Amino acid sequence: MKQHIFLIIGLIAITDLSDTISQLILKSSINKIDWHVNSVKKALYLVWQLIKIPRVWLGFFLSGVSLLFWLFVLSRTDLSLAFSLDSMRYIMITLASVIFLKEKAGLIRWMGIVYVVFGIILVTVG
Amino acid sequence: MTIKKQITFKILIFLISTDLMETFAQFCFKKSAASAKFLTINHFSDGILFLKAVLPSGFLWLGLLSVLLIFITWVTILSKIDLSVAVPVASFSYIAVPLVSCIFLHERISALRWFGIVFILLGVILVSVSSRQREKPA
């Protein structure tokens, strides 16, 4: 398993990158719809509005790609190792939110990300 | 602005239940992937063999059903709060997934790996706290 660690990291990176793009598409679409959800009916209506947007389907496709790579990774490694490495999506999603969704990240948030990265390295070595 | 962006108790409950479903889905996917364990995948075309081994698994479809439910709750959460708030706060899986893989899949988790998981969690808490403080003045 150890000699495949970089291959696994690479595969999980592909998984997380497609997941990040998918989340970006979803969140920006939800922002555009600007719908106040306070019931199951309204939640389902939001889902209905979303599935009518073509780029949301690109997001679904990327989620599918992400799932396929993820399934392959899971067939080769421990669930605990795979899931811990998967936390690189926290960095990807926060960076993407700052760059593309103009969400603001302060010092504490970046410190938190450093903690997450350190945690990932520990998990990879361990 | 009619939409409040701060995390409420209700949203927290939604996030935790989404995470529990996520954990369940991950458990199902690992169970389904175990049926392809003895395949050697060297070429791209071997991916079809992998699919053939995984698709008949009931666990795969149970996992996919959970993903559908997760999508509905996740969309609801994202309509309430920022993406960079929702994702880090959804960190319950980092406790639940290793526990599930330890108890039900009999996987061993080293002390160092536990230490790393604790660090990831600390970072995630910091990120969430920063997000909440940022939302307050607005």
What is the C-alpha separation between B18 and B71, in angstroms, rounded?
Answer: 9
What is the C-alpha separation between A83 and B130, in angstroms, rounded?
Answer: 24
Supply the pLDDT for residue B138: 43
Digit-by-digit pLDDT tens for chain A (126 residues) are: 555 788 888 999 999 999 999 999 999 999 998 888 888 888 899 999 999 999 999 999 998 899 889 888 888 887 667 877 787 888 888 889 999 998 887 888 888 878 877 877 677 666
Supply the pLDDT for residue B5: 64
Supply the pLDDT for residue B75: 92
Q: Give the predicted TM-score (pTM) of the model.
A: 0.73
**Residue A114 forms contact with B (CB below 8 Å):** yes
φ, ψ at B44 (rounded to 5°): -60, -35
Q: Do B80 and A125 touch (CB under 8 A)?
A: no
| Per-window interface: A 77-96 vs B, CB < 8 A | 78-81, 83-84, 87, 89-90, 93-94
pLDDT band for position B95 (cuts 50, 70, 90): low
Q: Do A125 and B76 touch (CB under 8 A)?
A: no
Report yes or no for ipTM above 0.85.
no
Highest mean pLDDT among A101-110, B30-39, B119-128, B129-138: A101-110
Report the chain A residue with the minimal C-alpha distance to residue B102. A80
Q: Do A36 and B3 touch (CB under 8 A)?
A: yes
Burial letters for B107-122: b for 16+ Cβ neighbours within 10 Å, e otherwise? bebeeebeebbebbbb
What is the C-alpha separation between A13 and A86, in angstroms, rounded?
Answer: 8
The region that residue A102 occupies, defined by phi over 0 for left and psi between -120 and 50 for alpha, beta otherwise, is left
Angle at A8 between CA A6 and CA A14, to 5 degrees: 105
Which stretches of A9-114 are assigned E, i.e. beta strand? none
Place of tokens 């690992």: B30
